[in-house]
Structure 1
Amino acid sequence: MMLCEECPQNPACQNCVHALRAGVVEKVIPARKVRVKLSSGQTVVAEMRAISRTAVGLYCADHTLADSVEVELASDFRILGSAFQGIRDVHYYVVDITKVFRRDEVLQRLLMEEFLQWHHSGENLPNEWLTELKDVEDERHRLIREELQKLSILRQVQSIYLYVMENGVIRPIGAKRTEEPLEGDLERVAWEAVKKGASVREQLISGDGSKMYELYASPLPDQTCGLALIDVTEAIAEERARQRKEWELYKQVLMAVTQDKLVLLTDAEMVELATSGQKVATLKIRSAGELSGLRSVCKQFLSDLGIVERRSLQFLVAVNEAATNTIKHGAGGTVTIHISPEEKVLRVIVHDQGQGILLEELPRATLRHGYSSKHSLGAGFHVMLQFSDRLCIGTSTTGNKFVLETAII
């Protein structure tokens, strides 16, 4: 199978589309020039000829595209993928998409519809808008054109609204404009970018709190500014759903391999657990010298509850390890002791102020003895798990909460 001689202008030819072997595929007419960074670090120019949610088709006559490549659709819109030859004996390559980059942020595993139809916009393109100007070659208009061409590629990323500020007045480019009364914020951010002489990014929230926007403002000469307002509500909801699903998967796996001894808790679940039973003591831990006081208080409660000495000493070691880590990995923390006669459990909750544990490190941090990294708790985690009847974890950027439980008579 070969590319037809008229490709990519001939819409009847579907060879480049079929080569993607994806679901819904669109042919890019006319073909778009894109920059491709190879795994060697070299950057080459290719033509984008087909596009789907999961792959793109590139024609590159002068270089072979293989392995990991980065395709730059604009300076702030790139995709990362794995390339292979899509049609035998033809310089046509398929890039399976693994990530989408926007500015310096990585939006991983979001729906690929965000760029599926970016070439289908029915609005006026920047070049068409600029033909209304008398002198399209002066520096100010050239920069406006450059900014708007870059932003036009992003028109179909969720919902994107393009504006320009000239003579202090904000006006939309094309027919689309947000229904939200945000133009006051647009003007404020535009003037901030003009004063700084640098691009400004800010998050905006709708008046009723139901929508979230990313606003990008790029200053241009003569007190003008180009703006892009992107509705990221669905993208954020999608990412949160993905994170919840990933969290639940880790939770189920860790519970399965530890026979329900290690449990991940959400913030809401942690609050519910912390409010059950009776809180009998609260201690602040800011230095190693305060650990002995914690051990004494815990030992007394364990003795009063009739916990046998060997079991009591083991649990004290686990509590001491958790409290020690609040000093090692943060600025200290708080320890609260709870007794629940109904559940027949003594519960010690240790809250540190560290950076939290990376979710992907939890299996190794908890199940591999002696494992340690910048964000993990090292060998101490294994001790806490071994000497507690159950260990519950809640982790976030605000710190970690560890709930160590031991059964009481």
Structure 2
Amino acid sequence: MMLCEECPTNPACHNCLHALRAGAAKKVVPARKVRVTLESGQTALAELRAISRTAIGLYCKQETLSAQVEVELAADFRIVGSAFQGIRDVPYYVLDIEKVLRREEVLERLLLDEFLQWHRRRDPLTDEWPLELRQPEDERHRMIKEELQKLSILRQVQSIYLYVMENGVVRPIGGQMIEEKMTEDLKRVAEEAVWSGSAVREQLVSADGKRMFELYASPLPDQTCGLALIDVTEAIAAERKRQQKEWELYKQVMGAVTQDKLILLTDQELHELTERGKQVASITITSAEDLASLRTECKKIMAPLAMPEKRSLQFLVAVNEAATNTLKHGSGGTVTIYICREERLLRVIVHDRGQGILLEELPNATLRQGYSSKHSLGVGFHVMLQFCYRLLVGTSSVGTKLVLEAIIP
């Protein structure tokens, strides 16, 4: 995979987006100039070429981007994350977002989606409301309670901190200010709620980047505003842990059923696989005519590898089936071929442009012969499983990746 010469303005090329390994990725057209600060303190200019909810794509010729990097998109909008080279031999880097400081308009963290999933599954637990909210000190507190009840925000969370803004000053209702550095953010959101006359919701990150908050602001009479700041750090961590355990369970069961011939992959594991091999070809599949070119290229690559003729033919059939599926279940895709001498493996990665496969549908989509749905990998999947040394599957909202492996002498 390479960047095209017209990147990112060429609508037909998606390489800069595929490198992000994330859903709902978009090109930034025209590319936006940004300032990058490295871990060493050095700065460099780069181009923001692609964005998603969890990562951004940067083109930077001045410096090699790795480890912790801070990107300044605007005076009050910065992104902090871990960077790595997204496309081999090209100064195009992927930065996995870890912190968003003063979110403006284009990026949100994936953890916000995770929080929403968690948030929707729980009902209000009024018995666990703070004492100060259940027994208000005055009429203003009672009014704040009523407004917050309308928003249905008092959930089972780690901590809830209540505030009121009066005459442009934010003060806590009982207790201490959770973080002085958040005062300006609280005031800004409260003023927005007062100005709009409706409730406002926003996500905030603590100054050290270790805690995540949901902030709700509800306007009150006389240009005042009630605020609830909810610490959801542990809730999000618990949701991530649950999802990880669910993924590991599916992985273990499917591996056991197939004697470890079928393996589920995370995006990170897939990236590590490609790092261990040498890329020798990349073919774009957009029509049935491209399949013939793919078969020709595969034969040319396998010829000097001295693979037994029968095994070469079987592996070619498996690769052709995987590539054919990109046309049947999506709008095409890419086939990238790697040779890994150290592991004695020929590795072919087939990436379609479909909507991915839901985790709960993976067993049926891969192991149940004759199963058919928009998420199915098709009847040819059993051919792939039979004719490959191993078959690895990774799937997300930006498509499904099949990794077909064959042993080479």
Which category of TM-score, normalised to the shorter sequence, fits these structures?
A: 0.5 to 0.7
* Cα drift, residue 151 of structure 1: 7.4
Q: How many residues align?
A: 296
Contact map agreement 2:118 2:239 (CA 8 A) in 1:
no
* Aligned equivalents of 1:153, 1:332: Cα separation in 2: 44
Q: Is structure 2 residue 120 aligned with structure 1 residue 118?
A: no
Aligned partner (choices 130, 135, 138) of residue 130 of structure 1: 138
Amino acid at match of 2:345: V
Q: 2:252 maps to which residue? A: 252
d(CA) in 1 for partners of 2:153, 2:119:
17
Q: Give the gaps of 5 or more residues in structure 2.
A: 1-113
Once the two structures are superposed, residues 72-118 of structure 1 have per-residue CA deviations (whole angstroms, 9 ceiling, x without a partner) of xxxxxxxxxxxxxxxxxxxxxxxxxxxxxx997445999x9x95971
CA offset at residue 359 of structure 1? Answer: 1.1
Residue 190 of structure 2 corresponds to which residue in structure 1? 190
Say whether 1:170 aligns with 2:178: no
Query: Judging changes above 3 Å, is the alpha-carbon distance between structure 1 residues 295 and 195 closer, same or farther for their aligned structure 2 residues?
Result: farther
* Alpha carbons 1:126, 1:149 under 8 Å: kept: no
Answer whether contact 1:347 1:404 (CA < 8 A) is retained: yes
Question: Could you say which residue in structure 2 is the equivalent of 1:334?
Answer: 334
For the aligned residue pairs, the C-alpha RMSD in angstroms reads 3.2
Moved more, 349-358 or 399-408: 349-358
Q: Secondary structure at the match of 2:147?
A: helix
Matched residue of 1:376: which SS? Answer: coil
Give TM-score, length-normalised by structure 1.
Answer: 0.63
**3-state DSSP class of the match of 1:281?**
strand
Determine the structure 2 residue equivalent to 1:306. 306
Q: Partner residue of 2:345?
A: 345
CA contact (8 A) 1:125 1:152 kept: no
The equivalent residue for 1:401 is 401
CA contact (8 A) 1:127 1:145 kept: no
Is the 2:279–2:337 Cα contact (8 Å) retained in structure 1? yes
The structure whose RCO (Cα within 8 Å, separation 6+) is larger is 2
1:75-114 matches, within 5 Å, as: 105-107=117-119
Contact 1:385-1:391 at 8 Å conserved across structures? yes
Please state if 1:282 is matched with 2:292.
Answer: no
Partner of residue 147, structure 1 = 147
Amino acid paired to 2:211:
K
Compute the displacement of 1:250 (Å).
1.0
State the shift of 1:126 in Å: 6.0
Give 3-state SS (helix, strand or coil) of 1:228's partner: strand
Q: After alignment, is 231-240 or 221-230 more displaced?
A: 221-230
Query: Is residue 2:219 matched to residue 1:209?
Result: no
Distance 1:361 1:191 in 2: 46
Secondary structure in 2 aligned to 1:182? helix
Q: Counterparts of 1:167 and 1:228 in 2: how far apart (Å)? A: 18
Q: 1:214: how far off?
A: 1.4
Instruction: Provide Cα deviations, 1:132-172, integer angstroms capped at 9, x if missing partner.
Output: x6xxxxxxx87534124567983762111122333433222
Residues 217 and 255 of structure 1: CA distance in aligned 2, closer, same or farther (over 3 Å)? same
Say yes or no: does 1:262 pair with 2:266: no
Give, in whole Å, the separation in 2 of the partners of 1:126 and 1:187: 25
Gaps of 5+ in 1: 1-101, 134-140
Q: 1:347-366 counterparts in 2 under 5 A?
A: 347-366=347-366
Identical counterparts, % of pairs? 66
Please, what TM-score do these two structures have when normalized by structure 2? 0.63
Q: Displacement of 1:260 after TM fit? A: 0.6
Q: Which amino acid in structure 1 is aligned with residue 128 of structure 2?
A: W
Distance in 2, Cα, partners of 1:115 & 1:352? 44
* Secondary structure in structure 2 of the residue aligned to 1:290: helix
Give the Cα–Cα distance (whole angstroms) in 2 for the partners of residues 332 and 180 of structure 1.
52
Once the two structures are TM-superposed, the CA of residue 392 in structure 1 deviates from its matched residue by 0.8
* Amino acid of the structure 2 residue aligned with 1:393: V
Larger Rg computed on CA atoms: 1
